[in-house]
Amino acid sequence: MLFSFLNKKAKSKLGIDISSSAIKVLELSFHQGVYRVENYAIEALPPGLVVEKNITDTEGLANVIQQAVKKSGTTLKNAAVAVASSSVITRVIQQDASLSEDEIEIQIRLEAEQYIPYPIDEVKIDFVVRGASEDQSDRVDVLLVACRSELVDLRSDALIIAGLVPQVIDVESYAVERVVDLMASSLSGSVNQMIALVDVGANTTTLYILLEGSVIYSIEQTFGGRQLTDEIQRRYGLSFEESGFAKKRGGLPEDYESEVLAPFKEALVQQIIRSLQFFFSSSQYNHVDSIILAGGSSVIPGLPGMVQDKVGAITQLVDPFMDMTIGSSINAEQLREDAPALVIACGLALRSFE
């Protein structure tokens, strides 16, 4: 079955990022060449509903999605969500240039088993024709994308139960590409350089390497802001909820900065360095030109400077909304604070305008 990983039908869609710790909902509009943030919300997920990006309780997840949508104030029903890049198989294959798209689809169905290491009836696939092959004038390059059906269906089912229409199931790396392209004018250096985007989530840190605007490598490490929350909870005898609130709003004892936060920052920087080393060791590259920090746990004061000092590449905090206007109902200061956590949601919402 073909699915809409690469569907380019333009229609307003909510970007809904389903992570292990929160649901992020974002609605954008586009008028006279300017994007506008119309509505957004972030709703925390109870532990256990999504584990390592795998949905374990569809109805429970749907309830939280419904709450987030209501909280955002949006009236849109069409939605785009994403599966993790690590869950997706992509291949560039060649097909006869004389074939129509319908004929290419038939051919891909016949040939898919040689590219996908799963039974063909257990996957969703999609494709897009990229253009003529460089080395064969009578062939075209076709990007094939495949994902286990279960991962797609669980996300689709959660949206439907929440009262939404799952119009697009995307891939997180494609959402990242759109945001980096959107930010091209504000990035240090050129978007055509080697850019590392580091998404520091609650439980995982994901490194995306982009070259000329396309993700060429990604890796997930099991490390994130949850480790800091757990250490606050352990050290100061707070509940998990109290620890998370204190981490964001302050009010912790004087030794927090030196005894808890500083070691966490050092460990996070080492995780970033380790991920970069994995990339360098598996490719012909040995440096990145710039680093973009994203994710809810990337907003720790001083982290960009610390990464820049250790890695030696210009480092900045992501803000996909810096050149956008903002709806009157949105708290601009809160949006700036939340912006790093909304990268995937933003990349998904941008599907409305393709």
**Do residue 77 and residue 217 come from a single domain?**
no
**Do residue 261 and residue 294 come from a single domain?**
yes
- For 13-59, how does the pLDDT look when each residue is reduced to its tens digit (9 = 90+)? 999 999 999 999 999 999 999 999 999 999 999 989 999 889 999 99
**Do residue 165 and residue 233 come from a single domain?**
no
**Do residue 275 and residue 155 come from a single domain?**
no
**Do residue 45 and residue 171 come from a single domain?**
yes
Domain tally, the chain: 3
Given a cut of 80, whether residue 11 has pLDDT beyond it is no
Last residue of a domain, one of 149, 167, 195: 149
Residue with tokens 């994901």: 206
Specify the pLDDT at position 118. Answer: 84
**Do residue 193 and residue 242 come from a single domain?**
yes
Domain extent at residue 62: 1-86+151-183+320-354
Highest-scoring range by mean pLDDT, 106-120, 171-185, 233-247, 269-283: 269-283
Angle at 6 between CA 29 and CA 106, to 5 degrees: 150
Specify the pLDDT at position 2. Answer: 41
Report phi then psi at 228, rounded to 5. Answer: -70, -45
- CA–CA distance, 106 with 266 (Å, rounded to integer): 52
- For 173-215, how does the pLDDT look when each residue is reduced to its tens digit (9 = 90+)? 999 999 999 988 776 555 568 999 999 999 999 999 999 889 9
| Averaged pLDDT of the chain | 91
**Do residue 68 and residue 94 come from a single domain?**
no
Angle at 23 between CA 20 and CA 27, to 5 degrees: 145
What is the model's pTM? 0.91
SS3 track for 153-185:
HHHHHHHHHCCCEEEEEEEHHHHHHHHHHHCHH
**Do residue 218 and residue 312 come from a single domain?**
yes
Specify the pLDDT at position 7. Answer: 53
CATH of residue 274's domain is 3.30.420.40
- CA–CA distance, 74 with 14 (Å, rounded to integer): 9
**Do residue 199 and residue 308 come from a single domain?**
yes
Last residue of a domain, one of 105, 125, 149: 149
**Do residue 283 and residue 345 come from a single domain?**
no
